[in-house]
Structure 1
Amino acid sequence: MPIEKSSEKTIIQKLDLDGYTQQFQKFLAREKPVAMMGDINQHYRYIQALSKVQFPTPNPVPNLERELNLIKKQGVLSLDEIYAFITMISYFNTLKTVGFTEPLISWIQGIEIPEEIIDIIGYFTAEGEINAERDQELFKLERAIKQNKIEIKETLYKLAHSSKLRDYLVDTQVHFNGGEETLLVRGGFNNAIKATVAARSPGGFFYIIPQSITHLKEKESALLSKKEEMIYTYCKNISAVFFKWERFLGFINKEYDRFDHYQARVSFARAKEYEFVLPSKHKRIKLQDFAHPAIENPVPITMDFSKKIMLVTGVNAGGKTMLLKSMLSAVYMSKYLLPFKCNAAQTEVGHYKSIEAVIDDPQSVKNDISTFAGRMQEFAKLFSKEDAIVGVDEIELGTDSDEAASLFRVMLDELRKKGITFIVTTHHKRLASLMAGDDEVELIAALYDEEKRVPTYTFLQGSIGKSYAFETAQRYGVPAAIVNKAKKVYGEDKENLNELIEKSTSLEREMRMKIATIDDELKSVERQKQRLQDEELKLQESHRKALATLENRYNAATKKAREALRAQESAEGRRLLNVAHQRKEFKQKEVKLKDEVPLKEGDKVKYRSHKGEIVAIRGKDATIIVDGLKMRVPLGQLKRRGDTPQIKVKPKAKEVNVNVEKSGASVSVKLLGMYADEAIDTVDKFLSDALVNGLHEVQIIHGTGGGVLAKLVTEYLKKHPKIQKFYRLPGNLGITVVEL
C-alpha cells in the first residue's frame, strides 16, 4: 500500500522507521496507509477512550473496494467475498456489548445494521460456510456427500488390504493426489486390478484410481455440482440484498478501517509500552526520555527545541545523525498518532505540514550528478515548501566547507522566513560560528567522555562541540604515531582552539548541573513555603471557627437570659444584659488590638539579644535605649518583649448566673494583682452596687506599677453613662476617685 514519500526514498526509510511501521502493520486487520484522514484531535479522543477498555481483536479482512464496485453493478459475489462483509458487520455487533465510554459509545451504538443484513448473518457458520441446519435440502445433500466419501474410503481400504494387490502396493495408505483419493502401486499393477493412473511419483511409482470406486467418484461429482448450484443461488440472493444496501456496506467498510486504525494503535502501544503524543499548535519539539524504536538499547534523549534552526556539532560517531532522525521521527509518529517510547507528560511535539530529510549522499553516476550538486537540487525544492521541518545531515558535504558555510548561512536564513524549521548536523565550525549569535539558532554539542575516550551519546544545549577526529581515528585502530603526526600537521593553534571549545563545553555543562541542583533546592523551599502557608490558612480557619462557636454560645446564653427576664422583669437585669453586650464588643477590640497594634514610644522591645525601650519613632526606623545607649534601628527588626504587660483574654468565660438584689455597698475596691478582664468585671460590679445603694463618691485602688490597670480603668470610666467625673488622688497613690 502507498505510504507518504520524501524524495526517492520514503521518509520512514530515511528515518529508520521501516522496521517500526512493519511491526505496526501486523496489528492491522488489513493492510492500509499509516495516515488517518480527518480531525487528528477527534482521532486522539477516540484512541484515548479505547485505551481504557479491553476489546476483541478484529479478524483479518481483505480490501473490498473491487467487491463494492461489483455490488454497484449488480454482480454476484462469491461466498468468501460475502463472508468478508459479514465478518465486518458481525464485529460491530460484538463491539456493541463492550463497555465503552464517550465518544466511542455514541459512535458504535449509532451504527444501525439493517434487519435484512442481520438475517443474512445467521446463514453463516463461524467457518464462513452456509449453515446447513437452516436449509433441509442442503443438509441432506451434505449428508449424502459425507456418506459417499465414507464409502470411497472403505472401498480403498479393502483394496489396500486385499491379497491380490498386496504384491504391487508400495504402502497401504490412501493418498490424496490432485484432490483425488488414490493408491500408490508399483509397475505391473494392471495384472491385478483395473484402474486409471492419476499421476506418477518421483520414485517411479503410480498413483491409481481403482475402477471399482469410479461410480462413487461420479456420484460425488454430481453431489458437489448440486451443492455448488445451491451455494450460487444463495450468493445470488445475498448479492441482490447487498445491492439494495450498497451504501451501508460502503459505510461499514470505511468505519471498519477507522476502528482498525484505532485498535491497531492501542494494541501496538500496549504491546510495546509506548505512549501517544498529540501534536501541539506550537512549533516546538520537547522530548523527555525519548527512545528511537530502531535502537535496541538507546540512551534516552531529552531535548527542548523551540527555535527555527538547530545546529548540532561535536564528536564523530557521537549520535548527531541519530539525534536528527530522532527529532524528525518524533514529529512523524506524533503527526500520524503512532505511539512511541517517551515521558508523554513532559513531551511536546509541534505539528508540521511536511517532513523532509536531506540525509543520504545524492551522488549518482547514472544521473551524472555530484554530491554537492545533488544537495543543491534538494535545497532548491525547499523554496516551494512552507510549514515544513527539514533535517540536513552533514550540511557542507561535497564541497569547500568555508564556501558552503557562507552559502548555507544565507539559504537557511531565507528558508526559515518561509516557515521552515531546520535540524542541521555539521563537523565544520565555520557555519556554527556564523550562526552562533542568531537568537533563532539553537546550538547543540554532542558530548565526549575524555576519561573513557568514547562518545556519551548525550547532548548539551547552547554550546559548540569539538569533533574529536584524532581520538575517533585512534579508537578505531589507526596507529597512535600516525595520529600524533597528523596533529602536528593540523597545527597547535587549531588544536588549542579545539581545547578551548571543549573547555567551554565542560564549563557550560558544569554550570548547568549546578543550576539544576539550585533549581531543585529552590523547588524544595517553595514546597516548604507552600506547606507553611497551607498550615497558616488552616490555623486561621480553625481560629475563625472557634470564635464563631464562642459567639454562638454567647448568643445562646443571652437568649436564655432574655427569656428569664421576660418571666421576671427587672430594670437592673436589663442593665446587666446591656453591659454584657458592651463587654463582648470590648473584648473583641482587645483581641484585635493584641494582634494588630503597632509598636509605639515607651514600648519595651527586644533587639536581637538586647532588651531596650522605644524613645522615638520616625518613619520605618525607631530610636531605642539599650543599656543606657541610644541607637537607631529598623522597626521590622524589633519585637515586643515578653515581659511587657499585655491584655490577656480569657479563652472562655465561665457561666454566669445573674441575680439582681440590693445589698450593702463598699466605698472602695482594690484591683491590685488582677488581670484586665477580672479588674473590669470587678469595677463594673462595684459601680453597679454603688449606684443601687445611692453612693455619690467611691474610690478605685489600682496601684502604680506599670500603669496598665490605671489606663484600663480610665478608658472604662470615660464610657460609663452614670459617672459625672473622676480624677486621680495627688501624690501618685494609685487611687482614682469617682463621683456618681
Structure 2
Amino acid sequence: DFAFAKAKLAKDMAANRPELSREGRTDLKQARHPFIAKDKVVPIDIRIGEDYRMLLITGPNTGGKTVSMKTLGTMVLLAQSGCYLPTAPDPVIAVYPNIYADIGDEQSIEQSLSTFSAHMTHIVRILQDVEEDDLVLLDELGAGTDPEEGAALAMAILEKLLQLRVTTIATTHYSELKTFAYSREGIENACVEFDVKTLRPTYRLLIGMPGASNAFAISRRLGLSESLILRAQQLVKADHAQFEHVINELENEKMMYEQRNADILERQQRVTELEAKVARTKEELSKKKGELIRKAREQSAAMVRRTRRESEAIIKELKEQFDDQGIKRRQQAIQDARAKLNEAFEKSRPGIMAQKGVGKAVSLKSIKPGDIVYVKKLDQKGTVLEVQGKELTVQIGSLHTKVKASACRFLDHAPKEPKGAGVPAASSSRRQSNAFMQKTQTIGREIDIRGMMVDEAEVVVGKFLDDAVMAGLSQVLIIHGKGTGALRKGIHEYLRRHRNVDSFQFADITEGGTGATVVTLK
C-alpha cells in the first residue's frame, strides 16, 4: 500500500526520481512546494553542498524566503521517505543524518517566552545536538531583539555552524549578515526576487545575490504617507541607502543578463541543429559518392574481364594459326596484348593487381642475366636474359619481352647451378620453353569444380594452379558454386596452404559472387 501510495503521489505531482548524494551535494531545478497549488506555485532552483554549505536568504516580507527554505526541507524529507520529488528531471539531493528547524513565531505567555526567547531556546537545543553533515533550517535568525545585538548573535551562530560543517539555510533582514556572507568562505548569499516597478514579489530564488528589504517601497504601496517615508529615508545611514541602491542595480542587471543568456542559448541550439543537418547531408553525399564509384568500378572491372576472356580466346586461335617460323612475333604480340589488358584491369580495380613497394630499384651496374626482377606494368616476375643499355630482355613464363630497367624492381640474383649438372643449359632451357608453350596453349583462366568431392577437387585445382603458374597467369577463377558451402570451405582451406597462391577472394557479382573465387598467383 505504501509503495502504491508513493507511486500515485509521484504521478499526481509529476515528480522525478532523485539521485541520492553521499557527498552532501544538493542540486534541485524547478523545485515546486507540494502544498502549493500547481497553477500558483513558482518553481525555484536550489543548489548547496558543493562550493558552499551555508545559504543566507534575504529579501522582503511575504517575498517567499520561508517558502523557499521549507521547499528544501520538504524535498529532503520526501527523498529520505523513498518518494519522488516534484522537480525537473534528474534531481540530486543529499542524505542528511538529522534535520533541525527553527521556523515560525512560538512566543508563549504561559511560559513567559517572547519571540526572541522562543527562537533562542530552539537554537540553543539545536547547537547542543547538531553534528557534521546535518541539515539546519533557521527562519528570521536574530529577529525579535535589538538589531545590532541580533545581527551580532546571528553572525556568531552562523560561524559556529560553519565550524561544525553543518549544511545550513537561514533567512534574515539584517544588512550586516549580507556583508558577513560576502566575507566568509563557505557561505553564499541568496534572495527572493522583488519587482520594484510592480511592487510585487516574483517568488523566484536568486542564488549569489543578496536581497534588499524594500521596506520603503512596500510601505508606500500600503498607503504610508510620503512625508513619513521621506523622513525615514533621511534617517537611514547614507552607506546603507547606497548599499540598497547597489543591490537593486545588481538585480536589474541580473535579469537583463538572464534574458541575454536565454537568447544566446536559443541561438546555440539553432546552430547545433544546423550543424547536425549539414553533417547528415555530408554523410549522405559521401555514401552516394562511394556507391557510385563502387558501381562504376564493378562495371569497368566486369567489362575488362569479359574483354580479357574474349582476347584470351583470340590469342589461343592465333597460337594455333601461327607456324614455328613466327613464334617470336607471336610471343611478342601475345605479350603486348596481355600487358595492355593487365594495365586496363589494374586501373579499373586498383589494389588487386598492383604490388607497391616490391623489391628495390634495378642497378644497371650489378644486374646480369639470370637475375630475377619484377615487371611493374605486367605485375609479373621474370628472369633477365640480356642487358642492352637501359633495357632488359626478360623472360616471363614462356614469353620474352623488352622493358626499361626503370620499369622493373630487383628481387633476387641468379640461382647457382648445382655442380656436376649433367643436362646442358641450352637443352634444359629448350625443354622448359616447350613445356611453357604447351601450357600456354591449353590452360584457361577458369575451372569449374561444381559437383566434385573436396578430395577430388583439391587434386584438380592443384594441377590447374601449377599449369596456370607455368603459363604465366597472374589470376584465375575457380567456380565452386554455393550449395551447402562445404566445397567452398574445403577449397579455401587448400588455397591457404598452396605454395603458389598469394591471395584469394570471392568473385564480383558479375562473375558468380560467392559461388566463385578469384585467386591471385605468386
Counterpart of 2:74 in structure 1 is 329
Match of 1:577?
341
* Aligned residues between the structures: 333
Counterpart code for 1:329: T
Match of 1:373 in 2: 120
- Which residue of the other structure, out of 91, 98, 121, is the alignment partner of 1:354? 98
Partner residue in 1 for 2:233 = 487
Q: 2: distance between equivalents of 1:582 and 1:721?
A: 21
| Per-residue deviation, 1:463 | 1.1
Q: Does 1:521 align with 2:267?
A: yes
- Alignment check: 8 A CA contact 1:311 1:424 kept: yes
CA–CA distance in structure 1, aligned partners of residues 19 and 349 of structure 2? 63
* Bigger mean CA offset, 499-508 vs 562-571: 562-571
| Structure-2 residue corresponding to 1:292 | 33
User: 1:318 is matched with which residue: 41, 63, 72?
Assistant: 63
With normalisation by structure 2, the TM-score equals 0.56
Deviation at 1:325, TM superposition (A): 0.7
8 Å contact from structure 2 (residues 189, 207) kept in 1: yes
- Note if contact 1:291-1:298 (Cα within 8 Å) is conserved in structure 2: no
Alignment of 1:146-295 (within 5 A): 260-270=1-11, 272-281=12-21, 283-295=24-36
Separation of aligned partners in 1, 2:307 and 2:106: 102
SS at the partner of 1:322? helix
Report deviation, 1:330.
1.6
Q: Describe how 1:374-413 pairs up with structure 2 within 5 A.
A: 374-383=121-130, 385-413=131-159
User: Which amino acid in 2 is paired with 1:280?
Assistant: L
The more displaced of 468-477 and 403-412 is 403-412
| CA–CA separation in structure 2 for the residues paired with 1:405 and 1:548 | 81
Output the CA distance in 1 between the equivalents of 2:165 and 2:287: 55
Shift in alpha-carbon separation, 1:380–1:476, aligned structure 2, 3 A: same
Task: Give the 3 Å change call, closer, same or farther, for CA 417–527 of structure 1 in structure 2.
Answer: farther
Partner Cα distance (2:27, 2:339) in 1: 76
Structure 2 vs 1, CA of residues 561 and 414 (structure 1 numbering), >3 Å: closer, same or farther? farther
Q: Distance in 2 between matches of 1:265 and 1:518?
A: 40
Q: Deviations over 1:122-169 (max 9, x none)?
A: xxxxxxxxxxxxxxxxxxxxxxxxxxxxxxxxxxxxxxxxxxxxxxxx
> Within 5 Å, which residues of 2 pair with 1:659-698?
none
Residue 422 of structure 1: which of 160, 165, 168 is its match? 168
Other structure's SS at 1:430 match: helix
Report the alpha carbon displacement of residue 551 of structure 1 after superposing the two structures with TM.
Answer: 2.9
Which is bigger in relative contact order (C-alpha 8 A, separation at least 6)?
Answer: 2
**Structure 1 length-normalised TM:** 0.41
Structure 2 counterpart of 1:305, from 38, 47, 58: 47
1:371/1:398 contact within 8 Å kept: no
Amino acid at match of 1:315: P
Aligned: 1:497 with 2:246: no
Match of 1:451 among 176, 187, 197: 197
In 1, Cα distance between equivalents of 2:271 and 2:183: 36
Residues 532, 441 of structure 1: CA spacing in aligned structure 2 closer, same or farther, 3 A cutoff?
farther
Could you say if the C-alpha distance between residues 355 and 550 of structure 1 is closer, same or farther in structure 2, counting changes exceeding 3 Å?
A: farther
Measured against aligned partners, the alpha-carbon deviations of 1:371-416 in whole angstroms (never above 9, x if no partner) come to 4531441441343x23222211111223444444444445434434
Relative to 1, partners in 2 of residues 1:376 and 1:459: Cα closer, same or farther, differing over 3 Å? closer
Distance 1:484 1:264 in 2: 57
Structural mapping, 1:106-117, within 5 Å: none
Alpha-carbon offset, residue 560 of structure 1: 2.9
CA RMSD of aligned residues (A): 3.3
Cα deviation for residue 299 of structure 1 reads: 3.7
Indicate the structure (1 or 2) with the bigger Cα radius of gyration: 1
SS in 1 for 2:83: coil
Q: Corresponding residue for 1:171?
A: none
Hey, what's the Cα distance between the residues in 2 that align with 1:324 and 1:721? 96
* C-alpha deviation, 1:492, in angstroms: 4.9
Shift of 1:424: 1.3
Q: Deviations over 1:197-227 (max 9, x none)?
A: xxxxxxxxxxxxxxxxxxxxxxxxxxxxxxx
Pair 362,585 (structure 1): closer, same or farther in 2 beyond 3 Å? same
Say which SS state the counterpart of residue 100 (structure 2) adopts: strand
Same amino acid, percent of matched pairs = 22
Cα separation, 1, equivalents of 2:402 and 2:73: 88
Q: Which runs of 5+ in 1 are unaligned?
A: 1-259, 589-683, 685-719, 726-740
Match of 1:539? 285
Say which SS state the counterpart of residue 257 (structure 2) adopts.
helix
Q: Deviations over 1:567-599 (max 9, x none)?
A: 4434343122222144347899xxxxxxxxxxx
**Unaligned regions of 5+ residues in structure 2, if any?**
316-333, 353-376, 378-400, 407-522
Structure 2 CA distance for aligned equivalents of residues 409 and 494 of structure 1? 18
Q: Secondary structure at the match of 1:280?
A: strand
After superposition, the Cα gap between the structure-2 partners of 1:527 and 1:403, relative to the gap in structure 1 and judged at 3 Å, is farther
What pairs with 1:629-668 in structure 2 (closer than 5 Å)?
none
| Cα pair 2:20 2:93 within 8 Å, conserved | yes
Deviation by residue 1:249-295 (Cα, 9 ceiling, x = unmatched)? xxxxxxxxxxx11111223344x253133242253333333321222
Which 10-residue stretch deviates more, 433-442 or 447-456? 433-442
Whether the 8 Å CA contact 1:444–1:459 is kept in 2: the answer is yes
| Matched residue SS, 1:517 | helix
| Offset, 1:318 | 0.7
- Report the Cα distance in structure 2 between the residues aligned to 1:399 and 1:537, rounded to whole angstroms: 72
8 A Cα contact 2:19 2:91, kept in partner:
no
Cα displacement (A) at 1:346: 4.9
For 2:498, the equivalent position in structure 1 comes to none
